[in-house]
Structure 1
Amino acid sequence: MAKQDFSKKKALLIEDMAEARIMQKKMLSDFGFESIHIAMKAESAIELMKSHSFDLILSDYNLGNGKDGQQLLEEVRHTKLIPHTATYLMVTAETSIEMVMGAIEYQPDGYITKPFSQALLQRRLSKLLDTKERLYDVNIALDKMDYEGAISAAKLVIEKYPSLIGRCERIIGESFLEMEAYDKALLLFNNTLKNRKMPWALFGKAKSYFLMDQLDKAEQCFRQLMFDNRFFVSAYDWLAKIQRLQGNATEAQATLLEAIGRSPKNILRQVELGNVSFSLHDFITAEMAFRRAVFLAKHSCYNTPEIYLKHLESLARISDSGPLLSRYKDNFRSTLKKIHALFSDNPSNTGKIFSYEIDLYLADQDTASAHKTLEIWLNQVDTGNAFPPTEQQSVIYAKAFGESVE
C-alpha cells in the first residue's frame, strides 16, 4: 500500500487527558495532518462537528464527566452529524466485553487499545482512510440516501478493488432493504453465504425474511446467528421483536435479558425490556430495566420524560402489592428529583407524577401525605400546570379520603 498523504485530511481529536492529547496530536502531525481540531469533552466535539466536516475522528472512550465515547458515537450516528465518508476510530484503555460490545453496537470504523505505538496507529489509519477513499462515491450516495446510486458505485468498486467485495456486497444488500427490494436483498445475501459464512450476510437474510413477513424463517436465521456468534447482539433484539409479534412476551423478555447480559449499555434495549416486562405485569423486572435506562439517559440523545415516568410507574405498580422497600423508595425519590429538574413543564407529565406519588403514600397507609399531595395537584390543575385526575383516580381518591375530588 502506498504511503497515505494526510496533509489535506481534517482530523478531530477527542481526548480529556492532557498527556494523551499531546501525544496523539503529535502522532497525527508526524503523519502529515495539518488540520487538527481538539475537543476535551463530547459536548464540545459535537459543536465542532456541527460547524466543521472531518475526514478522521479519533475519540477516546473515557471522556471524564458527561457523555462517554459510546454515547458520543450513539448521538452522532442518531443525528447523522458525521457522514459516511468520515472515519471514526475509537480509542480505549478498557478491554471489557461490556465496553467493546457497547462501542461496537454503534459501528465505529474501528477501535484501538491503549497503549499503542505510533507505527500501529499509522498502519490502522492508513488502512481505514484508504478504504474510505476507495468507497468515496458509494458513501457520498449513501449520505444522499441515493441507494440506487450507492449500488451502482459499489459494483464499480468491486470491479476495481476485488478485496472490497464483502464490504460492497453488504452495502448493496442493505441498500436493497432500504429500497424495500426485499427479494433482491435476500438473493444477494444468499449468494454471499454460498461463498463465505459472513455474519452480516446471515443478519441481512434474517432481516429480509422479517420484512417479507416470513417470521418463522427470520427466527431460524436469527437463532443461527446467535448460535454462531453470541456477541452479535442485534440478533437478540430482532428475535425479541418476532416473539412479541407472535404473542410470546415471556420469551421476548428472556431474549432481551440475555442480550442485556452481553451488552448492558444500550438504552433502547433497556427500555424495550421495561415495556415487555410491563406487558407481563412483571413490575420488578420493569423497574430494574427503567432504572438502568434512567441512569443511561443522563448523557444520551434518547433522554426523554417517558423513561423517567415509566420508572416511577413501575414503582407505583409494585406498591399496589404493599409498601415499598426502602431501596425502592430511594429509587423513586431519585428519579422524581431528576424528572422535576429536566421535564417539569409538561402538564400531562406533572399529573402522572402526582398520581404515582399518591399511590406510594396510599400503599404506606399515609393518607395525610397522600391528601396533601392531592391538594397540591389540584392547585396545579387550577393554574394549568397539571392535567386533572382521571375519573377512575377521582373515585379511588374519594374512597381513600372520604370526600369528592374536584
Structure 2
Amino acid sequence: MKKPLVRYSQKTVLIIEDFAEFGRSLRGMMQTLGSKNITLVYNGEDAIQECKERKYDIILSDYNLGDSKDGQQILEELLTFNLLKTNSVFLMITAENTTAMVMGALEFQPDSYLTKPFNGSILKSRLDKAIYKKDLLAPIARLMLKKKWKEALKLCNEESEKHPKFRMAYLRLKYGCLKKLKMYDKALELTTQIVNERPIPWAMLGVGEIFYAKKELDRASDLFNDMINEFPMVIEGYDWLAKIQYEQGRPIEAQYTLVKAVERSPKALHRQKKLGEIAEENDDITVMTNAFRQAVKFGKNSAFSTPDEFIKLTKSIGLQLKGNSNVDRKKLIAESESIFSKLERRFKSNPAVQFRSAVAHADFSAITNDEQKVEKYLTTANRFYERIEEHIGAEESIEISESLKHLGQKELAESILEEAVEQYFDDPKFLKKAEKLTTNKHLIANSKKANQYNNKAITSFKNKDFNAAIENFARASEIAPNNVNINLNHVQSLLKRAQINSNSSKDLHTAEKVLSSITRLSPDDERFARYSELSRLTQLMIQSL
C-alpha cells in the first residue's frame, strides 16, 4: 500500500524551544512543509498550558529548556494527564548526546528523536514516518483508551494482516489487550513466540510481566535478570526486577538493582524516590540521602514532585548528623534549612504539607540541639494542624506520629495515629507500624474488628447479597464512622439494592446521608472521582422517585 502524503497544512503544530533563533528556524522548516497553524513557546510551563487548551497534531520539543520543565517532563505530563490525541506525534530534539540525557529523553518513548543539527529534509522524513504509523494505530489506541479491549483485540488482528510492515507494533498492542483481558496464557504464548524469533525488549518485558501476573515470581526474576544483561539500557527491566526482589524479601538486592538503573537514567523522579525508600529500610543512609537529593534536584519543575522527597532528604541528613562527628555539620544543616525553605515555598497553600514540614523541622532542630527552633516549629505545627481539612496519608501519619513522640507531643501524636488507623485499618503494613506506636490498647483490636466486617461485606457484595453487604458495612461504619472506603462501599451497596427494590426511597436517602458525612475528602484524593460519581447517581435516582 502506497504511503499517503501528509497534509501538513491541516496539522496543528506546537514548537517548544527556549533558544528563539532555533525556534524560528523550526517554524520556517514547518512552514516550508506547508504548515500554517504553528504555535511557538519558549518554556515547558507555557507548553503544558497550550496543550491543556488544545490538543496538537505535532509537537516538536527541545529536550533541554533551561530552567523550565525539560522535554522528558513535558512528555510525561502530557501522557499522564491525557493531553495528547491518540495520533499526536511528539518529536524530541536535542543537541546533547550524554547517556543520562539520551536515557532521560527516551524514558517515556517519544515518537521520534532528532539530534541537532538537522535540516528540513531530515525533519520531514522523521515526521512522515511517525505520522503514518500513528494514524494507522490510532483507531486501536482509541478503543484501548475507552477500555474496549475485545474490540481493540479484534482490530489488531485485522489490521496487522493489512500492514505487515508494522506487525510488531500491532502485536504489541495485541499483547496490551490480552493483558488487560487477563488472558495470560495467550499473552504469554504471543510474547514467548516473539522472543524465540528474536529477543525484542518489549516482548521480553511482556513475558516477565505475565510471569509476575501469574505469581511465578522466580521465573519472572530470572527473565528480568536475563533481560538487563542482554539489554542493559532498557530501564524498565531494572524496575521490574527490583519490584520482584523486594516482594520476595530481598531488599538489599532490590536496592542494588535500582542503583544500577539510576546510574543509567538518573533523571527519573519516581525511580530515585523508590531507591531512597528501599535504602531507608536497609539503613543505608548514604544511598538514601543521595537518592532523595537527586529526587529534589530533578523534581524541581516536575508535576510529580511531592513533599516526600523533601522531608525524606532532611530526615536522611538528620540521621547522618546523629552521633557522627566525621561530617561537615555546618554544611549539612545549611542544606537542610534550604530544603525546608523550598518545601514551604512550593507547598505554601497546603496546610497539611505545612504541618508535616513544621513537625519535621522541629524534629531536625532537636537533632541539632536548637531548642529555640524546636519550640518555634512546634508552635507553627499546631497552628497549621487546626487548618487541615483532608485526611493525612498512612505513611505520613506514621512519620509525623514518630516525630511528635520524640518531641514529647504524645497527645497530638496519639490523636493523629487514631485518625489514621480509622482510615487505613485495611493496610496490614501500616497497621503493624501503628501498633508499635500507639498506647491505646483498644485501637488496633477495634480496627481489626471493623476490617472483618468490611471484608464480609465485600464478599457479600461480590455474591450480590446486598442485604448482608449493607448490614456489615453499617457495622463496620459504627466502629470507623469516618472511613472513606467503608462509606463509599456502603453507598454503592445501597444503590445496588435500590435498583432492584421497588421501595427504594429509604436506601437512597440513607445513601445521601452517608455521602454527606464524607467531609474531608480532597479533590486530589484518588477516591474523589468515585465519591463524585456515587453522589451524582444518588441524586439522579432520588429525582426519579
* 1:342 corresponds to which of 307, 322, 346: 346
Question: C-alpha distance in 1, partners of 2:388/2:166?
Answer: 58
**Residues 151-170 of structure 1 mapped to structure 2, 5 A cutoff:** 151-170=153-172
Which of the numbers 247, 260, 263 marks the counterpart of 2:262? 260
Q: Aligned-pair distance for 1:206?
A: 0.6
Conserved 8 A contact 2:363-2:403: no
Partners in 2 of 1:29 and 1:306 — Cα distance? Answer: 45
2:394 equivalent to 1:380: no
Q: 1:11-30 deviations in whole A, cap 9, x for unaligned?
A: 21111222111111111111
C-alpha distance after superposition, 1:78-116 (max 9, x if no partner): 112113311111011111111110111111011101100
Residue identity opposite 1:380 in structure 2: R
What is the aligned partner in structure 2 of residue 234 from structure 1? 236
Corresponding letter in the other structure for 2:47: A
- How far did 1:370 drift? 3.6
Q: What SS does the corresponding residue of 1:310 show, helix, strand or coil?
A: helix
- 1:306 aligned onto 2:308: yes
- Larger deviation, residues 141-150 vs 108-117: 141-150
In the alignment, what sits opposite 1:27? 29
What corresponds to 1:283 in structure 2? 285
Q: Which has the larger radius of gyration?
A: 2
Aligned to 1:404: none
One-letter amino acid of the structure 1 residue matched with residue 104 of structure 2: G
Higher mean displacement: 310-319 or 161-170: 310-319
State the distance in 2 between where 1:278 and 1:201 align. Answer: 33
- Map 1:28-43; keep pairs closer than 5 Å: 28-43=30-45
Structure-2 residue corresponding to 1:66? 68
Q: Which piece of structure 1 moves more, 113-122 or 336-345?
A: 336-345
May I ask how many residue pairs the two structures share in their alignment?
398
Please, which of 86, 89, 92 is the counterpart of residue 90 of structure 1? 92
Q: Distance in 2 between matches of 1:243 and 1:233?
A: 16
- Alpha-carbon offset, residue 300 of structure 1: 0.7
Rounded to whole Å, the distance in 1 between the matches of 2:401 and 2:53 is 51
**Aligned-residue CA RMSD in angstroms?**
2.6
Correspondence for 2:455: none
Q: Distance in 2 between matches of 1:188 and 1:392?
A: 50
CA contact (8 A) 1:85 1:140 kept: no
Structure 1 Cα separation of the partners of residues 6 and 401 of structure 2: 70
1:143 CA displacement? 2.9
- 2:501 corresponding residue in structure 1: none
Partners of 1:245 and 1:190 in 2: how far apart? 24
Q: Structure 1-normalised TM-score?
A: 0.90
Distance in 2, matches of 1:290 and 1:90, equals 27
Gapped runs of 5+ residues in structure 1? Answer: 400-406
In the superposition, relative to structure 1, how do residues 89 and 334 fare at CA in structure 2: closer, same or farther (>3 Å)?
A: same
Which residue of 1 is the match for residue 130 of structure 2? 128
**Structure 2: 5+ residue stretches without partners:** 410-545
Overall identity of the aligned pairs, in %: 31
Partner of 1:356: 360
Alpha-carbon shift at residue 372 of structure 1 (Å)? 5.0
TM-score, length basis structure 2: 0.68
Contact 1:74 1:301 in 2 (8 A): no
Bigger mean CA deviation after superposition, 341-350 or 103-112 = 341-350
Does the Cα contact within 8 Å between 1:190 and 1:201 map onto a contact in 2? yes
